[in-house]
Structure formats: structure tokens, C-alpha cells
A = this chain, B = another copy of it.
Amino acid sequence: MDLKEKIRNIPDFPQKGILFRDITTLLKDPEAFGCVVDKFTQRYRDHHIDMVAGIESRGFILAAALAYQLGKGFIPVRKPGKLPAETISVEYALEYGTDRVEMHVDAVNSGDRVLLIDDLLATGGTMKAACDLVQRAGGLVAECSFMIELADLKGRKKIKDYNIFSMIVY
């Protein structure tokens, strides 16, 4: 299946000059969504993975379906202020200003191998921060995994210390 055909391209979103890769057209197509989850499942079925972490919000979609398929627990990596118990937090740079991601301190057991999932690799800032969270919580990053990679933005460089997988590359 040509997954790129299922992704809608939307010019100038969220701002002028950006071509947004809209995955909602893929997600609503049962064969395409199933194909993506199956490919991730095949890739990780024989890996040593203890937990699957999804990055808010679109990362939750793929990570949750995959965690269930692999018979693993699911961890949310969230925007600030959303998690109710004790958290650890990592700040990262945006083009203008900074942003932050959080994880519960008890989300990961020491030595757990955590598979990190997001829908899209752009500049890599969010994923790098999520890797820092996993390590600070005592876990190991098994792999950083994406449905889509925007290769021009060179996000791989920012997470070059980790294993990286992307299913669809633009």
C-alpha cells in the first residue's frame, strides 16, 4: 500500500510557507491505519521492549495501538501541567521561545527499555526532550520511531545518539 497517497498535503498550515502532512485521512482509512500499525508491530515484535511511550497528542494514537499489539504498557509524554502525580520535565528550544514535555517519575522502572513513538519527525526537539525524560527516569531508549520523517529538517541529527526508525520519508 502506498501510504503517501493516504496522507493529505495542506499548504500554509499552521503558518504560511509550511506544507502540513495531514495524517487524519490515513487514520480514517481502516486499511491504511491497519497497515501502519501492522508494520510497527512487525518491526518491534521481536525487539526487547518493555514499554511504549507516545508523545502528546498524535503520538498517542500510534503508540496506544502498538502497545496493545505488543502486549506492553503505554506511557504518555505530555504537555506541561497535564499529569497529576509527581513529574519530571524537560525544556527544549523552539524557533521562538521554548516548550516543555513531562512524564510521571514513576512511569518507567529502572532499566526499562522504552520505545518512543511520535507521528512526525521534524526538527527533533520534542523527541530529544522525550529521550532525556526516559533517561532521567532511569529507563533506556530502545528506539525513536515515527510514522513520518521530514528529512529536510534534519531532525535525525538531534537524536543521533539513539536508534531511529521512520516509516514514510518526505
Minimal beta-carbon separation of A101 from chain B (angstroms): 13
- Give the segment of A62-70, A141-149, A156-164 that binds chain B: A62-70
- What is the interface of chain A mostly: helix, strand, loop, or mixed? mixed
Q: Is the CB of A73 within 8 A of B107?
A: no
Q: Is the CB of B60 within 8 A of A64?
A: yes
User: How many monomers of this chain does the complex have?
Assistant: 2
User: How many residues from A make CB contacts under 8 Å with B?
Assistant: 41
Contact with B along A68-84 (1 / 0, CB 8 A): 11011111101001111
Inter-chain pairs besides A20-B84, A27-B74, 11 sampled, C-beta below 8 Å: A8-B84, A8-B85, A14-B81, A14-B84, A28-B73, A28-B74, A29-B73, A60-B60, A60-B61, A61-B74, A61-B76
